[in-house]
Structure 1
Amino acid sequence: MAKVMRLERRRLDVDQLQLGMFVCELDRPWESTDFMFQGFLLDDRATLEAVRECCRHVYVDDFRQVEMPAVTVVSTAQSDLPAVPLRDEIAPAERSHARSAALVEDVFAAVRIGRGIDARACREVVQQSLDSLLRNESALLWLSRIRSVDAYTSQHCLAVSVMAMGFGRHLGLERAALEELGIAGLLHDVGKIGLDQSILNKPGRLEPDEFEHVKSHAQLGYWMLRGSAGMAVAVLDAAHGHHERLDGQGYPQRLDETQISQPTRIISIVDCFDAITSHRVYDAARTVKEAFQILMDLRGSHFDTSLVVRFIEWLGIFPVGTLVELHTGEVALVLEKHPRWQLRPKVVVLLDEQGRRCTPRLIDLAKVSADGLSQPYRITVGLADGERGLSMADPQLQALLASRELLAELEDQPISNDPAQGQR
């Protein structure tokens, strides 16, 4: 009897793809795309749409196809606040961000003189930040990218707080859990205030005893928070355990995966991502793609695998507040992500094809928009903060992003087909 051969690999047009299929080959070289792995599961709608945008056909491996569970929606308090346009949320987000920044400085000052931390004040500013996120996520996300190396710890805490809440919302957590995540992010590194700052901010490689000193911030933070009334268990756990690892090789307690809570796992991922993509005294900022690759390499050992995948799914390949290069050679800043299409955010062009500063010009990649040769605009690569002479700490960029009037003017501009329009 002839043996029946089962096909393992077959070609499909991208409009035939379904969730649960495993893509094993594209119709173009992998290195010319933004996909991080040569083979991946279509386990979410964003990835499916990204493949459809990039390719005309692909090959799928039927042996590796999985049945996707029905999507369940967890009820949250998001619907209490109506969504608003980015330009209308800029001012409220800026006020919320300023209050949060002032609170973090107050917390750090209180810790330095041995006073307790005001848990109620922390919750109030986190609630305001969460309200802003629920109205328009992009506004507070890009504000959290504006920072100075000199104030890294406090600004890092602000960013982790905002991203943790945004990620938690994507996971479908209830409002109370989102608030606790926000407070946990805000205070997860408070123990660093108790360290020798010359060691913490040392530009070069740390000696073994210096590294042990820096590692003590997790225990110090836990003691500080435990001595302050009204701190939720999730907040204490995150400060104590955000450097624990699923394989039991983390610090300070060498917990295993059964002992690390979900909030702590979330804070650990966000903390790592923000650190990698930020300028620090001992390391330059790296690209989002590099940060995602590191998270994926460490999944299962350091970080929760499913949460890493969901985090990348939420943040997107080109997150708000990151620099990107367009196919024209122009450099732009991602202003607002599209709710469905990761590769089609709204961007503001800042440098022309020759790398010169130009009058800011909005391009909405989700709309039909073409360059002077009638080629559709597309992002070719993500850049690290500071590349091409552009940084989120640049006053000109901050003025652009903080100006509600300018954003309104930009959003009202018609989409231009001429990349030279507005050049100086």
Structure 2
Amino acid sequence: MLRKILVCDLTVGMYIHEFCRPWVDDPFWINNVESLLQDAAVLERIWQSSTTEVWIDTARGLQPSVNSAAAAPGTQQEIPTVSDASPSTMNEELARARMICGRAKAAVIAMFSEAKMGRAIQSEDVDLMVEEISNSVMRNPHALISLSRLKTSDEYTYMHSVAVCALMVALARQMALSEAQVREAGVAGLMHDVGKMMISNAILNKPDRLTPDEFETMKYHPEAGVKILQENHHMTQAVKDVCLHHHEKIDGTGYPHHLSGDQISVFAKMGAICDVYDAVTSERPYKKGWDAAYSIREMASWKGHFDPMVFQHFVRTVGIYPVGALVRLKSEQLGVVIEQSSKSLLKPVVKVFMSTRTRMNVEPAVINLAHPDTRDAIVKFELAQDWGIGNVDALWSKSSVG
């Protein structure tokens, strides 16, 4: 049953059906997307917004208390004690991450559309979205990052921003940056490609590689993005810098300003790595995405492209064998990485499903290579096409890890 309540009566566990405000003013992170409210931090942001009423579905979530209708807008409430950043398993967080990705896609589409029309981007909405992504990464650093790779080519422009946001948050935490810097890194990741809204769809969605002239047009998007962000005074200098310089390279061969070495800020160096990793692992109109482990090794070989120290931090963030990597084990089994280990980058949790000797499927089994009783180990990573495997991602995104 749908019921309209005051926002100050909204609590974690309620199912949001719709915000009672004009469409153009909806918090873009949840625009046209129904959602179970799970994060206390997200709830607090909604309380702080200008929305005063909301429709909830009492059949799909908690009901308001009997006295809630008497509450007045702006009433102070204690934040629920349920922790929005408590550690969770990969499976638990994948369920949440799927909902977050759905909301985030709608959010970025709305946000970029507003930017294209010259309208200001609402800072509270950006912060709300980054906080929800950041909380997911804190609960489990690999679920949303891995899931956001699974996008179709027509989703790329929008979901790429979500993926880079999550990667930037995780990388910033791995580098032990302050929470304020972590949030700023997330905003930078979310906004780094906003300038692509000024590039024609014919170029953005071209099913073939760009011609030299088209590539020159595409290279304008960092400067176009900064022009958009300059109209939004709440965007920090660091966010603008990542937008402008995420295509710079350490050896000075990047664009638009051919910066090199320490001329490139740490945030821009982080943005360059996160941007490329998601780009090469994603399906594009003109190519299939690379295997995650293969991507790490290829990127490591590009001398002069990335800052070596920041890249080392990035490898620790996603893993030497990231979630989704196809690996051969010493036991002559083929498996897919389904979760990282906190103990060793070389010993993730693997779901085995094929014999490398017979090329026949075996009963799927989960092996924690970091467990002290496990004698198995990864020999090398493999490519799915070499084994005639069509959809490796289905093996880990629906896995049960106990």
State the TM-score, normalizing by the size of structure 2: 0.71
Distance 2:289 2:150 in 1: 13
> What is the aligned-residue identity percentage?
32
Distance 2:209 2:96 in 1: 41
CA RMSD of aligned residues (A): 2.8
Aligned match of 1:379: 378
Distance 2:199 2:382 in 1: 33
The 5 Å alignment of 1:66-215 reads 81-215=85-219
Aligned match of 2:391: 391
Amino acid at match of 1:322: A
Question: Measured at CA, do residues 239 and 83 of structure 1 come closer, stay the same or move farther in structure 2, by a change above 3 Å?
Answer: same
Distance 1:142 1:200 in 2: 24
Are 2:274 and 1:275 aligned? no
The 5 Å alignment of 1:217-256 reads 217-256=221-260
Give deviations 1:52-83, integer Å, cap 9, x for gaps.
xxxxxxxxxxxxxxxxxxxxxxxxxxx99443
CA drift of 1:378 comes to 2.6
Question: Measured at CA, do residues 150 and 258 of structure 1 come closer, stay the same or move farther in structure 2, by a change above 3 Å?
Answer: same
CA drift of 1:281 comes to 2.0
Contact 2:326/2:381, CA 8 A, preserved across alignment: yes
Aligned match of 1:326: 329
SS in 2 for 1:332: strand
Give deviations 1:291-350, integer Å, cap 9, x for gaps.
334433334x33212112222233221012333333455443212111121221112234
SS in 2 for 1:132: helix
* Structure having greater relative contact order (Cα 8 Å, sep ≥ 6): 1
Q: Which of 286, 291, 304 is matched with 2:295 structurally?
A: 291
SS in 2 for 1:95: helix
Distance 1:384 1:175 in 2: 37
Aligned match of 2:21: none
Aligned match of 2:310: 307
CA drift of 1:141 comes to 2.5
Distance 2:209 2:146 in 1: 31
Amino acid at match of 1:130: S
Distance 2:127 2:382 in 1: 35
State the TM-score, normalizing by the size of structure 1: 0.67
Aligned match of 1:340: 343
CA drift of 1:397 comes to 5.8
Aligned match of 1:18: none
Q: Which of 256, 263, 267 is matched with 2:267 structurally?
A: 263
The 5 Å alignment of 1:399-414 reads 400-401=398-399, 407=400, 410-411=401-402
SS in 2 for 1:137: coil
Amino acid at match of 1:295: M
Distance 2:308 2:396 in 1: 35
Contact 1:138/1:335, CA 8 A, preserved across alignment: no
Aligned match of 1:362: 366
Distance 2:161 2:385 in 1: 21
Number of residue pairs the alignment of both structures matches: 318
Question: Measured at CA, do residues 284 and 336 of structure 1 come closer, stay the same or move farther in structure 2, by a change above 3 Å?
Answer: same
CA drift of 1:122 comes to 1.5
SS in 2 for 1:191: helix
Contact 2:326/2:392, CA 8 A, preserved across alignment: no
Question: Measured at CA, do residues 314 and 138 of structure 1 come closer, stay the same or move farther in structure 2, by a change above 3 Å?
Answer: closer
Contact 1:145/1:392, CA 8 A, preserved across alignment: no
Distance 1:357 1:115 in 2: 54
Contact 1:120/1:230, CA 8 A, preserved across alignment: no
Contact 2:327/2:380, CA 8 A, preserved across alignment: yes
SS in 2 for 1:389: coil
Aligned match of 1:50: none
Distance 1:233 1:385 in 2: 42
Distance 1:392 1:96 in 2: 22
Gaps of 5+ in 2: 1-82
Give deviations 1:146-182, integer Å, cap 9, x for gaps.
2112211222222111111111111101111111111
CA drift of 1:144 comes to 2.0
Of stretches 313-322 and 385-394 in structure 1, the one that deviates more from structure 2 is 385-394
Give deviations 1:91-113, integer Å, cap 9, x for gaps.
33333333322211212322343
Give deviations 1:187-245, integer Å, cap 9, x for gaps.
21121222122223333332221110111111111112222242121111111110122
Contact 1:322/1:385, CA 8 A, preserved across alignment: no
Distance 2:179 2:228 in 1: 26
Contact 2:104/2:129, CA 8 A, preserved across alignment: yes
Contact 2:144/2:166, CA 8 A, preserved across alignment: yes
SS in 2 for 1:247: coil
SS in 2 for 1:221: helix
SS in 1 for 2:142: helix
Distance 1:260 1:143 in 2: 30
